[in-house]
């Protein structure tokens, strides 16, 4: 005996996602047909297509939006600072801090020779034209503290060297709640370098 075809198709659908193996996919498929109402299933089904059809990249910054230009780029009260981030997700992360009122620029990836991602493959070129058009006075490089993140930050810093713009990199050090006992040496070294007068 095998599962009905329509159930197998649904299980395979869930299995496309990262972190969802055969057992979990089966559990989710059974949950769908046994626990969810018709209304919820149809709404979820529609939302998959809708998200695909409606969401596009902002023409200015590369952030996700349902319009041509995203809410942040349209907002005239934002300061002329540009924070360079890897992905659209990172924009929301910084927005949630409520500490930043500048604009963003989403790279859509990081330079990674090992994975065949060169500077031309990500949204770097537009940074230069934005500096002029939007009279940007500071660029904050907010890529991750990984090899690819560092490499990308360094690359962008270099191409901006003669553009007359102040370039900064987000701070390094212990994360909030970080225990010195468990911190690795590079983090501690960077935390020492980044020490501040109390």
Measured between alpha carbons, how far is 179 from 102 in angstroms, rounded to an integer? 32
In the bound state with a second copy, the residue whose beta carbon lies nearer, of 4 and 164, is: 4
Rounded to a whole number of angstroms, the CA Rg of the chain reads 22
**Contact code string over 78-117 relative to a second copy, x by CB under 8 A:** ----------xx-xx--x----------------------
Positions in 17-36 near a second copy (CB under 8 A): 17-19, 24, 26-33, 36
Of 38 and 193, nearer to a second copy (C-beta) is 38
Q: Of 3, 118, 147, 178, which one interacts with a second copy (CB under 8 A)?
A: 3
Instruction: Using CB under 8 A, count the residues that bind a second copy.
Output: 53
| Pair 152, 169: CB distance under 8 Å | no
Classify residue 123 by burial, with Cβ atoms within 10 Å: 0-12, 13-18, 19+. middle
Is the separation of the CB atoms in 83 and 140 below 8 Å? yes
**Alpha-carbon distance 94 to 105, whole Å?**
12
| Residues found near a second copy in the complex (CB under 8 A) | 1-7, 9-10, 12-14, 16-19, 24, 26-33, 36, 38, 40-52, 54-55, 64-66, 70-72, 88-89, 91-92, 95
């Amino acid at each position: 005996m095998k599962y009905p075809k329509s159930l197998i198709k649904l299980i395979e659908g869930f299995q496309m996602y990262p972190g969802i193996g055969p057992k979990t996919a089966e559990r989710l498929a059974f949950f769908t047909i046994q626990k969810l109402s018709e209304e919820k299933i149809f709404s979820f089904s529609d939302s998959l297509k809708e998200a695909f059809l409606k969401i596009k990249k902002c023409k200015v910054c590369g952030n996700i939006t349902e319009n041509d230009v995203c809410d942040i780029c349209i907002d005239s009260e934002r300061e002329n600072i540009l924070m360079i981030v890897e992905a659209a997700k990172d924009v929301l992360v910084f927005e949630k801090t409520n500490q930043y009122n500048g604009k963003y620029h989403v790279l859509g990836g990081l330079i990674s020779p090992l994975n065949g991602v060169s500077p031309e493959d990500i949204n770097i070129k537009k940074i230069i034209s934005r500096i002029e058009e939007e009279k940007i006075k500071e660029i904050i490089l907010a890529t991750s503290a990984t090899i690819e993140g560092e490499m990308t930050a360094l690359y962008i810093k270099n191409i901006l060297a003669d553009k007359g713009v102040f370039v900064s990199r987000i701070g390094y050090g212990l994360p909030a709640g970080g225990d010195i006992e468990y911190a690795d040496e590079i983090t501690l070294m960077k935390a020492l370098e980044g020490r501040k007068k109390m």
